[in-house]
Chains A and B, each alone.
Chain A
Amino acid sequence: MSAQKDCEFLVKRARELVSDDPCAAKAWLITARTLYPADFNIQYEMYIIERNAERTSAAGMRVYDMFINFPDQPIVWREISVITAALRSDSQDKHAQFLRGLFETLPGRVQCEMLLKATEQCFNTLEKAEMLLLLLKRFPESVVQHGVNLGETLLEAEVSENVETPVNCFRKLFVCDVLPLVINNMDMRLPASLLQKYMLKAAEFYIGYVTRGPSPDVQIQASQDGGSLKSPSMSRGSQRYVIDGLSEKSSMVAEPWERLLDILAVIGARCEWQGDKGQRSYVDMLQRVKELCRYLPGLEGDTRARCCSQVVICAALVLFRSAFLYVSAVQPSLFQGVNALSLGPWILVEDLCSVYSDAELERGALKHGHKKRKLADGREKTMSSDDEEGLGKGRGRHILVNKTEMPSWSETLESFRVARDSWDLLHSHDGLETEFKKICASWKTDSWLWFRIFLTDMIIYQGQYHKALSSLHQMAAVHQSQLGQQSPSGPASLEHHRALIQQASCHYALGEYRMACEKLLDVVGGLVPPVQEPTKMPEDQGRVKTRTRKGNDLRLLPCTSKAVLPFCLQLMLACFKLRAFTDNRDDLSLGHVVVLLQYDWPQGEMLFLKAVDKICQQGSFQYENFFNYVTNIDMLEEFAYLRTPEGGRIQLELLPNQGMLIKHHTVTRGITKGVKEDFRLAMERQVSRCGENLLSVLHRFCINEKIIIIQSLP
């Protein structure tokens, strides 16, 4: 009889008994253990009984015994890895909770050893890191020994595993779990350069996390919903986000900006930054580094370098946060988890509320500018001092926005301002700019679509329209490549419109009317005119007041058919207005102006009268599309009147091919009578069209006359 046979016999008896009389089974095993204290199977069986009964402390004691007595048993390691897996998981199931409770009953020293050994046995970097993290969290004294190594391992893993984005499982563990332990451990002295490197790693992660795009399934849903972004399924969907390799729960990062600020505060203190006390908010921080900047030229050596780093890091974080806040209001669909309740997107364009005002008075100076520019056209692309005259507008431009449609308008505009301020600060010294560019290069901010949107809007605000246009072209390219993988319709086309409208607005601001109209007509071609006439917005009342502003204001325009079509019409009007009222006769432009003035009648009444004056001066007017697109009764009456003797017997050629008819009829007497008859009939027919949907008429005008419209601009 061998000992092994004895042990097998004892364990077998215990197993036979366990279901009917667990106490007896345990009594057998206790006896067996005193007979053969070195037999593993007996102790393992004891553990199994307690584990299956989920008796936490008893099972914990058995694990403890096995860990102490049989540290080399593979089965023990299997059990320990099951327990540590439960610790890492966030599963709420009963058995996982039991295993976690079991671990808690173990003495700290054993927990520590167990985690360390389990870590050694792990081959997967992520699991290994999670395991070590459990250790560091429980035993702060182990942070000194393992903290930095773990951090570096994670950062190396990012490289070796070729992850595509800073928002990956390794970085998440590093930034959210390891870094706080390391920087808050007062027993560790880390060099400032390392701390700053870690700071930037954290910032890159949090910014990447906040600005992550919606996950593909959400986007499909959104396009199916046709933009009804308020549906609850949508907001639930936007919560779903999983970092590859992590569970849904551990993929969640609460209050990312706040946590980034926390890390910044600690690192700032450890790097002995100036005035790091009470860095409560990003705005305070910008104020502080602004003040610090004033001393920068007087500093030298290490002090200067430290000061530079502080200014650049702080200002960059303020910049990216504010830019994000701005873009998340203007382009909410770009981001996951951003409340998309506000209607987006919004387009920053030239404000056109002065379009109906008297042209020469206000536009004269600018128009003059164009002429100069036109002469310099050949050199335009190589000009470095691009938009010289625009620079004057860079300060104190107003941005108008419909306050009811964008309730958060003041925060949005404030974010835009703070972001511009930070940008300016970062470019106020060469040293700062170099540092900042390094950060941008390492983060590849060039590829951040959202940030480019901000930059473009900022350049537009500064009046650097050429730069803005090239940025918009680049962005369209980036966008197009991104959209390649996504659905071609839905929000995507809206994005496309957004870029075109902004381009049109820039071209207009540069005086490139033909380009502006080309872009606009492309947009209008893709629009469906609203079925009903738009009811007048409260904004329209405000216009009376704003009319007195100078013509260099900007406007945030909602990117919807309802808002875009009127804007396009106004912008076209603005383009033609100048041509129509020059001293040279340009009936086509004048005709277009008349057609376009119908919209928002009687806002344009004054301009219409001016047009009528011009026609009277000319004594004749030829515009063959008149009866196709003019349905405004006031205008029709005015034109009818112009033909009368009282009106001055103006010769109006408003019917298609009428000119030829007249020439033909002059040969034969009495033919004019027929022409008169045609005109009268056309007028009568036109009056009956007065009830037609004006926007449909104007939409048709844009589409049918696209070529003529573009050709009529130089």
Chain B
Amino acid sequence: MGDIRLSLLPRDVLSAAKELLYHLDIYICNLVQSGMQPPQVDAKTLELVEEFILHAPKDRNAPVRRMSALQELQLLEIMCSCFQEQSRDTVRQLMFSALFSLQGDQADESRMSLLGKLVSMAVAVGRVPILECAATWLQRTHRVYCVRLAQVLVDDYCSMVPGSVPTLQNIHSASPRFCCQFITAVTTLYDLTSEELTPPLELLQMIVSWIQDDPRLVLITFLNSPLSGNQPISSLDVTPLGGLVRWCVKAPLAYMREKQLALTNGSTESEPEAGTLFSALHLSVLQVFMLLPNILNEKGLFGRLALLQMESLAALTSDLSRLLDQADKHTHTSSTGTHALSQLALDRLAQALQVAMANGALLCSREDLRAICSRLPHNNLLQLVLSGPVMYYNNIHTPPLAFSPHAAHSPIASHPAHTPHTPLATHPSPHPQYPTQSYMTGMPFPFRPSH
């Protein structure tokens, strides 16, 4: 295909790009037809793409060719229809990756820029094939770039043009795969560490409504991936669950911070609304966890694949611990509001850990959990989750699930001072307002006799 370069050179930028797309389409069709496995676009062709579509200078001497904004728009339209008209999925995927797979060279910036514009346009005019290709791209590309693409869409649809959110909302029905990847990218992008990295309310509302409508949406990529483990390292998580858990757990503290800022700035906007949204989102996440056992069993992956990674949870708990510290320091007078929000964060963490673990999304022992939660202040539910359920179960209505030889040694009897539901512990605490988890004090943790 290299021989067409000479015919492209004399043309103007737009018609050269057009001509190249045309030849690329034919070339890839032939490639697929030839049955070569795997079909590989040769380096020569990739160079042509860089030169005539992305306009990366071939060498220092060559003149820099640029497109006007209008020409670029026309090119995007041509690309859109090119993908729309190609009926074969493999051809489209190969073409998309020939155009936008990052090569680690100078042209990557142009690639990202053009990709952002193309996907944004595809969202606007509902070009499903492009969204589907972009979904695949989001699975294969380094998360840093995925986040950049998500940022473009959030900027275009949530920040720049007011009232354009409904357009973005539609991707949920147009391409659920893309929508799922978009959520993962967005939750990766916004980690709630600063005001800038707090998701805009419109985005949050949109994501909550998507997941409420269809909780399985967040599992689409996972359900469609043939096998786990062949994800490129440093790509996005296979589900947004980790990111969503992080959002919900950190939200009370992040918004507490915002609230304090707002109080000093004299405005209190939309805080309660965000609270409700996160509460709903958190419930949805738990409900998604509840769906997992069936799905994992069907795939034969139960107990073999962790959708939540211990490392990211460890990062979350240490983040949380730091945030709680900060909250302590900033609120000089101990306000009940702050306390409640801190407890809410810990409640949600405990709930997410428990439900994830019980449903096979998190593969670890309670011992592991205790390790990563060791620095957190006391919370009744967390304490209960970290200790695990009492195995001797003497509900009057139902027979005990299992007989426990240790039943006689209930934690109350052996460790009367450390009942998990006592709000105030007797130990000195690193957080003056909160009792710490009792196992931090160097004493053995009074977890219940298990099994």
- A positions within 8 Å CB-CB of B: 1-7, 9-10, 13, 21, 23-24, 26-28, 30-31, 34-36, 38-41, 70, 73
Contacts and interface: CB of A to CB of B under 8 A. Distances in A.
Contacts of A5: 421
A3 B290 CA distance: 22
Contacts of A70: 397-398
Interface stretch (B49-57, B261-269, B349-357): B349-357
Contacts of A13: 381
B385 interface: yes
8 contacts: A1-B421, A4-B395, A6-B390, A21-B279, A23-B279, A27-B282, A34-B359, A35-B384
Centre residue among B276, B283, B391, B410 by max chain A CB count within 10 A: B283
A27 B286 contact: yes
B429 interface: no
Main secondary structure of the interface of A (DSSP, over half): helix
B411 interface: yes
Given A23-B283, A27-B282, A31-B354, A1 B420 contact: yes
A38 B398 contact: yes
B389 interface: yes
A555 B68 CA distance: 108
Contact of A24 (B283, B290, B350, B394): B283
A3 B384 CA distance: 10
B390 A1 contact: yes
A18 to B, nearest CB: 12
B358 interface: yes
B136 interface: no
B395 A30 contact: no
B275 to A, nearest CB: 8
B280 interface: yes
Nearest to A44: B397
Contact of B286 (A7, A30, A39, A40): A30
A471 to B, nearest CB: 70
Interface in B336-377: 344, 347-348, 350-351, 354-355, 357-359
B385 A35 contact: yes
A4 B381 contact: no
Nearest to B357: A34
Contacts of B391: 3
B355 A3 contact: no
Interface residues of B, number: 41
Interface in B241-273: none
A41 B398 CA distance: 11
Contacts of B354: 31, 34-35
- Give the top 3 A-B pairs by smallest Cβ distance, nearest first: A34-B358, A3-B390, A23-B283
B18 interface: no
Given A3-B389, A3-B390, A28 B397 contact: no
B280 A38 contact: no
B101 interface: no
Given A1-B448, A34-B359, A7 B421 contact: no
A34 B380 CA distance: 16
Contacts of A6: 384, 389-390
Given A9-B380, A21-B276, A31-B381, A2 B282 contact: no
Contacts of B410: 1-2
Contacts of B401: 38
Contact of A31 (B280, B344, B355, B394): B355
A27 B384 contact: no
A286 B293 CA distance: 69
Contact of A27 (B283, B393, B411): B283
Given A23-B282, A31-B286, A2 B394 contact: yes
Given A9-B421, A21-B279, A31-B350, A3 B394 contact: yes
A4 B394 contact: yes
Contact of B392 (A3, A30, A41): A3
A356 to B, nearest CB: 92
B398 A39 contact: yes
Contacts of B384: 6, 9-10, 35
A24 B279 contact: yes
Interface of B: 276, 279-280, 282-283, 286-287, 290, 344, 347-348, 350-351, 354-355, 357-359, 380-381, 384-385, 388-398, 401, 410-412, 419-421, 448
Nearest to A31: B351
Contacts of A3: 389-395
B395 A7 contact: yes
Contacts of B290: 30
B267 to A, nearest CB: 24
A564 B377 CA distance: 103
Contacts of B357: 34
Nearest to A39: B395
Contact of A40 (B280, B283, B385, B395): B395
Contacts of A40: 395, 397-398
B355 A34 contact: yes
A333 to B, nearest CB: 61
Contacts of B448: 1
Contacts of A21: 276, 279
Contacts of B282: 23-24, 27
B201 to A, nearest CB: 17
Given A1-B421, A35-B385, A40-B395, 19 more contacts: A1-B410, A1-B420, A3-B393, A4-B395, A6-B390, A7-B395, A9-B384, A10-B381, A21-B276, A21-B279, A24-B282, A27-B286, A28-B351, A30-B286, A30-B290, A31-B350, A31-B351, A34-B355, A38-B393
A1 B398 CA distance: 18
Contact of B393 (A10, A31, A36, A73): A36
A36 B448 CA distance: 14
A21 B280 CA distance: 9
A28 B286 CA distance: 10
Given A1-B419, A6-B389, A38 B276 contact: no
A38 B399 CA distance: 9
A687 to B, nearest CB: 102
Nearest to B422: A1
Given A23-B279, A27-B283, A30-B287, A2 B390 contact: yes
A39 B397 CA distance: 8
A36 B389 contact: yes
Contacts of A24: 279, 282-283, 344, 347
B412 A1 contact: yes
A28 B358 CA distance: 14
A41 B395 CA distance: 9
Contact of A1 (B350, B385, B393, B411): B411
A70 B399 CA distance: 11
A27 B353 CA distance: 12
Contacts of B396: 4
B170 to A, nearest CB: 26
Contacts of A1: 390, 410-412, 419-421, 448
B141 to A, nearest CB: 34
A118 to B, nearest CB: 20
B394 A73 contact: no
Nearest to B290: A30
Contacts of A27: 279, 282-283, 286, 348, 351
Contacts of A73: 397
A6 B344 CA distance: 19
Given A1-B420, A2-B410, A27-B348, A38 B390 contact: no
Nearest to B384: A6
A198 B385 CA distance: 65
Contacts of B283: 23-24, 26-27, 30
A31 B287 CA distance: 10
A661 B245 CA distance: 131
Contacts of B419: 1
A13 B358 CA distance: 20
A670 to B, nearest CB: 125
Centre residue among B347, B395, B419 by max chain A CB count within 10 A: B395
A41 B388 CA distance: 19
B250 to A, nearest CB: 16
